[in-house]
Structure 1
Amino acid sequence: MGQRLVTGIIAGAGFIGLLIAGGWYYSVLLLLLALIGYWEFARLNKQSWKRIDVLLGFVAVTLISLPQLPFEWEMPASTTVIWLLMLVLLCGTVFTKNRINLEHAGVMLLGAVYVGLGFHYMAITRELPHGIFWSALTFACIWASDAGAYFVGKAIGKTKLWPSISPNKTIEGAFGGLAVAIITALVFAYFRPEWLAYGQALFIGLTAAVAGQLGDLVQSAYKRFRNIKDSGQLLPGHGGVLDRTDSWLIVFPLVHMLGLLL
């Protein structure tokens, strides 16, 4: 517990500091996390980073996750990068005579989209007008949902939410996380009503809680399928990047696609 707490404080302080700094400081941090997350995803699927399809995935994740390129180079659209990666991977099954097969291609494409788009939307949230506010709001709702689910579940949780996937989660904890996330969003609206209406805040809190808990369950199901405990060991006591960002990767794209920010 002590190691977990120290790691959390140090990593959290560094992350928040770079979020506040913004610009390339924050974008490069997110890119590094995305690349590590993609490497963890490849390793979970027993794919060597030396294989050409995995290396192409790293290139795709870089192009997808960055909000812009340096030196005013033109940034290709995410859909363009995803389609080109798909094309190259499918052609790779032909040119390698199925040493890279359809399963490899599908898994690595899925990983590039899952990780790359998740971090992409984190980056562009910071680029919005009042980007610190919108980023802090979304992260706060995710973390509030996690904390609420944990403490309410510990206190009164009796009914298992999905025992075959995550045996410690309870329905009472899930509703507790939902309530705390909504309250957190409403507090943001109270302090900045000119930027965030109460109705909008309610939907952001609701989305962050439901999608965040779903993202956590997705990662739990995937790790259980692969029979592993953690995606990596980057953060002592916390696991890997995917362990820590599973909720983020789902929530940030979704709040944008639903038009809930701004």
Structure 2
Amino acid sequence: MKERVITGGLGAAGFLTLLYLGGWWYTTLIFIIALIAFWEYSRTLGYSQGWIPMGIGYLGVTLILLSNLPQLQGDSLFGVDLSKTYLLILLLYFIWMVLSRNHLDIYRLSFLFVGVMYIGFGFSLMMETVWRENGLGFALSLLVVLVTFANDSGAYFVGRKWGKRKLWPHISPKKTVEGSLAGIAFGVLFAIPIGLFFPILGSIPYVLFLGFLTAVVGQIGDLVESAIKRTTGVKDSGKILPGHGGMLDRFDSLLFTFLVLHIFDLL
């Protein structure tokens, strides 16, 4: 418990500091985290993928990250057509499946390709959001990040002390209904001062709606990663964050939240 609190406190302080600095500071941080997260994701299968399949995956994640940066969109050198990115990575994986004599089989290929899309787009939207003008990018990013942190913390501590009814035992046996509800409540409460401090986000009822949606979707994102880990038979995606697991364990809720908010044009 002590290790988890210390790591969480130091990590949150560092992350929020770079978010406040914004621009390339935050963008660089997210870029590094995305590459680490893809490595962790690929390792959950329990064996080395080889440097070529991993290189293709890193190329895909990098291209998606670059293609969503406002500064590079439309640039003749770095601008990337996303539809061509999908096709390029998929074709490279298929070619290597043949050249490797099926060492990279269709199941491993599918797993890696899904990881490129999931991690690449999730983190790219985190990068893209912070560049919104007039302080809107910082405000939106701060809202989603703090609500997600409050949601995770509330669900963990309340569930640990008072949780009795299992939320989804086949996917995540330790999560409880009581913890889930507490997490949503904590998330919505944290949204209120952010909405008051940043009127650019809109009316308080709208900010509360965003807070509620972020908390609910964040919990679904956490369950999605739990389902992936149950499929591959691992407990944590990594050990880089003592008491929390890996980067993917820490950012799974944020990835899913940014994807969903983007789909419904709420970012």
Give the alignment's TM-score, normalised by structure 2: 0.88
Q: For the residues of structure 2 that align with 1:74 and 1:156, how far apart are their CA atoms?
A: 52
8 Å CA contact retained: 2:46, 2:232: no
1:163 positional shift: 1.6
- Give, as a single letter, the amino acid of the residue that structure 2 aligns with 1:29: L
Which structure 1 residue ranges, 5 or more long, are not aligned?
none
8 Å CA contact retained: 1:149, 1:174: yes
SS of structure 2 residue aligned to 1:127: coil
Q: For the residues of structure 1 that align with 2:25 and 2:234, how far apart are their CA atoms?
A: 33
2:226 corresponds to 1:220: yes
Which structure 2 residue ranges, 5 or more long, are not aligned?
none
8 Å CA contact retained: 1:203, 1:260: no
Q: For the residues of structure 1 that align with 2:21 and 2:229, how far apart are their CA atoms?
A: 34
1:154 positional shift: 4.0
1:123 positional shift: 0.4
Alignment CA distance shift 1:47-1:117 (3 Å): farther
Q: 2:118 aligns with which of 114, 121, 131?
A: 114
Alignment CA distance shift 1:34-1:116 (3 Å): same
Cα RMSD of the aligned pairs, angstroms, is 2.1
Q: For the residues of structure 1 that align with 2:231 and 2:201, how far apart are their CA atoms?
A: 43
1:21 positional shift: 1.5
1:126 positional shift: 0.6
The number of aligned residues is 260
Query: What residue is the counterpart of 1:239 in the other structure?
Result: 245
- Give, as a single letter, the amino acid of the residue that structure 1 aligns with 2:111: V
For residues 96-152 of structure 1, the C-alpha deviation after alignment (integer angstroms, 9 at most, x for no partner) is: 332322112111101111111111011011111222111100101111211222344
8 Å CA contact retained: 1:49, 1:55: no
User: What are the within-5 Å matches in structure 2 for residues 56-135 of structure 1?
Assistant: 56-66=56-66, 67-68=68-69, 73-129=77-133, 130=135, 131-135=137-141
Query: What residue is the counterpart of 2:213 in the other structure?
Result: 207
Give the alignment's TM-score, normalised by structure 1: 0.90
1:195 positional shift: 3.0
Q: For the residues of structure 2 that align with 1:48 and 1:253, how far apart are their CA atoms?
A: 29
For residues 179-222 of structure 1, the C-alpha deviation after alignment (integer angstroms, 9 at most, x for no partner) is: 22222223322333343223321331122111111111122222
2:159 corresponds to 1:153: yes
